[in-house]
């Protein structure tokens, strides 16, 4: 039985996953699992998409790599997908959302090529990751939060911290 929850922080690239996870890890001591970072370190990148200038990751290997940590609990999973993780090990899925004009500016600042930028904007506008979360997890596990402003980051982090505290109280033996 885990004594700390596992939380997925998901959303379109540029929405603020890393920023939220870093603050939450600092404030709560939970373990920030950046799948981006892990896939680079463990070399579980599969193929390079030339047009989108991005690596495609082997999702089975991602899950194999983080499974032990998820079993222990206390993970903040930072990734732009959530459907590959076992439902029994995930206690909360936070889907961050952002205004598309703000997202455009953030991705432009990252020098994303036009095709990649457009794909990510479409992903946000079409609510792809929110749909994915709702399809794969129970309704009460999925929370949608705005990430347009720094004030919203602070409010979101506070809210998630309060949720973690409550979860721990509810699961104390």
**Minimum CB–partner distance for residue 152 and ligand DAT (Å):** 5
Of 149, 159, 162, 166, the residue at the interface with ligand DAT (CB under 6 A) is: 149
CB burial of residue 22 (10 Å; 0-12, 13-18, 19+): middle
Q: Which is nearer to ligand DAT, 15 or 89 (CB)?
A: 15
Cβ count near 59 (within 10 Å)? 17
Q: Is residue 32 at the binding interface for ligand DAT, with CB under 6 A as the rule?
A: no
- Give yes or no for residue 42 binding ligand DAT (CB under 6 A): no
152 touching ligand DAT, by CB under 6 A: yes
106 forms part of the interface with ligand DAT (CB under 6 A): yes
Residue with smaller CB distance to ligand DAT, 24 or 142: 24
Asked if 17 interacts with ligand DAT (CB under 6 A), we say yes
- Separation of alpha carbons 11 and 123, rounded Å: 9
Residue 18 binding ligand DAT, by CB under 6 A: yes
For 71-139, the DSSP string reads HH--EEEE-S--TTS-GGG-SEEEEEE--HHHHHHHHHHTT--HHHHHHHHHHHHTTHHHHHHHHHS-G
Interface with ligand DAT includes 130 (CB under 6 A)? no
144 is a site residue for ligand DAT (CB under 6 A)? no
Residue 96 to residue 56: CA distance in whole angstroms: 22
Shortest distance (Å) from residue 173 CB to ligand DAT: 35
**How many whole angstroms separate alpha carbon 40 and alpha carbon 55?**
10
Binding of ligand DAT by 26 (CB under 6 A): no
Strands 45-49 and 7-10: unpaired
Work out how close the CB of 50 gets to ligand DAT at its nearest, in angstroms, rounded to a whole number.
Answer: 21
DSSP 4: S
Q: Which residues bind ligand DAT (CB under 6 A)?
A: 11, 13-19, 106, 147-150, 152-153
């Amino acid at each position: 039985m885990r004594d700390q929850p596992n939380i997925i922080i998901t959303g379109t690239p540029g929405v603020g996953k890393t920023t939220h996870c870093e603050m939450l890890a600092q404030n709560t001591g939970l373990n920030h699992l950046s799948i981006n970072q892990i896939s680079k370190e463990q070399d579980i990148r599969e193929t390079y998409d030339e047009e989108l200038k991005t690596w495609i990751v082997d999702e089975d290997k991602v899950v194999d790599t983080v499974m032990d940590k998820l079993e222990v609990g206390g993970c903040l999973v930072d990734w732009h997908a959530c459907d590959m993780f076992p439902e029994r090990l995930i206690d909360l899925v936070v889907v961050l959302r952002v205004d598309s004009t703000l997202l455009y500016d953030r991705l432009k600042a990252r020098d994303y090529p036009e095709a990649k930028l457009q794909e990510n904007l479409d992903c946000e506008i079409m609510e792809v990751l929110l749909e994915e979360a709702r399809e794969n997890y129970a309704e009460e596990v999925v929370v949608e939060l705005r990430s347009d402003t720094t004030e919203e980051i602070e409010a979101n982090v506070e809210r998630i911290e309060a949720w973690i505290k409550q979860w721990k109280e509810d699961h104390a033996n």
